[in-house]
Amino acid sequence: MFDKILIANRGEIALRVLRACKELGIATVAVHSTADADAMHVRLADESVCIGPPPSKDSYLNVPALLAACEITGADAVHPGYGFLSENARFAEILAEHNLHFIGPKAAHIRLMGDKIEAKKTARKLGIPVVPGSDGAVGPDDDAMAIAKTIGFPVLVKAASGGGGRGMKVAQTEEDLMLALSTASNEAKSAFGDASVYLEKYLQKPRHIEIQVLGDGRGGAIHLGERDCSLQRRHQKVWEEGPSPALDAAARQKIGATCAKAMQEMKYLGVGTVEFLYEDGEFYFIEMNTRIQVEHPVTEMITDIDLVLEQIRIAAGGDLPVTQEEVVINGHSIECRVNAENPVSFRPSPGKIQQYHPPGGLGVRIDSAVYQGYVIPPYYDSLVGKLIVHGKTRQECLMRLRRALDEMVVEGIETTLPLFRALVREPAIIDGDYHIHWLEQYLAGQAEAKP
As annotated, the active-site residues are 291
Residues 6+ apart with CB under 8 A from 396: 331, 332
200 touching ligand MV4, by CB under 6 A = yes
- The answer to whether residue 152 forms part of the interface with ligand MV4 (CB under 6 A) is no
The piece of 194-202, 260-268, 337-345, 411-419 that touches ligand MV4 (CB under 6 A) is 194-202
**Is the CB of residue 360 less than 8 Å from the CB of residue 376?**
no
Residue 204 Cβ vs ligand MV4, minimum distance, rounded to whole Å? 8
Binder among 15, 45, 203, 401 for ligand MV4 (CB under 6 A): 203
- Residue 77: closest CA among 316, 309, 317: 316
Binding to ligand MV4 (CB under 6 A): which residues in 92-121?
Answer: none
* Contact call for residue 197 and ligand MV4 (CB under 6 A): no
Q: Contact between 171 and ligand MV4 (CB under 6 A)? A: no
Of 48, 39, 81, 54, the residue nearest 371 (C-alpha)? 39
Please, which residue, 232 or 368, has the CB nearer to ligand MV4?
Answer: 232
Task: Establish if 434 lies at the interface with ligand MV4 (CB under 6 A).
Answer: no
287 lies in the binding site for ligand MV4 (CB under 6 A): yes
Q: Does 64 bind ligand MV4 (CB under 6 A)?
A: no
What's the Cα-to-Cα distance from 137 to each of 3, 128, 247, 251, 309, rounded to whole Å?
Answer: 44, 19, 32, 31, 38
Binding footprint of ligand MV4, residue count (CB under 6 A): 16
Long-range CB pairs of 21-27, under 8 A, 24+ apart, other chains included? 21/79, 21/312, 23/306, 23/309, 24/309, 24/312, 24/313, 26/1, 26/2, 26/312, 27/3
CB of 335 to ligand MV4, least distance (A): 15
DSSP string, 67-102: HHHHHHHT--EEE--SSTTTT-HHHHHHHHHTT-EE
The DSSP output letter for 315 is H
Which residues are 410's β-sheet partners? 356
Exposure string of 49-70, with b = 16+ CB inside 10 Å and e = fewer, is bbbbeeebeebbbbeebbbebb
Whether 198 contacts 158, CB under 8 Å: yes
Nearer to ligand MV4, 164 or 378 (CB): 164
The burial class, CB within 10 Å (0-12 / 13-18 / 19+), for 113 is: buried
Q: Please, which of residues 379-418 interact with ligand MV4 by CB under 6 A? A: none
Query: Which range touches ligand MV4 (CB under 6 A), out of 180-188, 198-206, 328-336, 383-391?
Result: 198-206
In contact, 256 and 227? CB cutoff 8 Å: no
Q: Which stretch binds ligand MV4 (CB under 6 A): 62-70, 174-182, 197-205, 370-378?
A: 197-205
CB of 208 to ligand MV4, least distance (A): 4
Shortest distance in whole angstroms from residue 386 CB to ligand MV4: 18
Task: Give the C-alpha separation, 243 to 171, whole Å.
Answer: 33
Helix/strand/coil for 216 = strand
Query: Any contact of residue 435 with ligand MV4 (CB under 6 A)?
Result: no
What gap in Å lies between CA 149 and CA 136, rounded to an integer? Answer: 16
Q: Which of 29, 131, 383, 384 binds ligand MV4 (CB under 6 A)?
A: 131
Question: Using CB under 6 A, which of 30, 156, 195, 309 touches ligand MV4?
Answer: 156
Among 64, 139, 152, 165, which residue sits at the site for ligand MV4 (rule: CB under 6 A)?
Answer: 165
E strand spans, 234-322: 236-242, 269-279, 282-289
Rounded CA gap, 254 and 247, in Å?
11
Question: Pick from 41, 208, 227, 365: which binds ligand MV4 (CB under 6 A)?
Answer: 208
Choose between 41 and 120: whose C-beta lies nearer to ligand MV4. 120
Tell me, residue by residue from 213 to 252, as one string, x for binding to ligand MV4 by CB under 6 A and - for no binding.
Answer: -------------------x--x-----------------
| Alpha helical stretches, state H, 294-411 | 296-303, 307-315, 394-407
Nearer to ligand MV4, 96 or 444 (CB): 444
Q: With contacts defined by CB under 6 A, name the span among 172-180, 195-203, 333-341, 417-425 that binds ligand MV4.
A: 195-203
- Chain residues that interact with ligand MV4, rule: CB under 6 A: 131, 156, 164-165, 200-203, 208, 232, 235, 275, 277, 286-287, 436
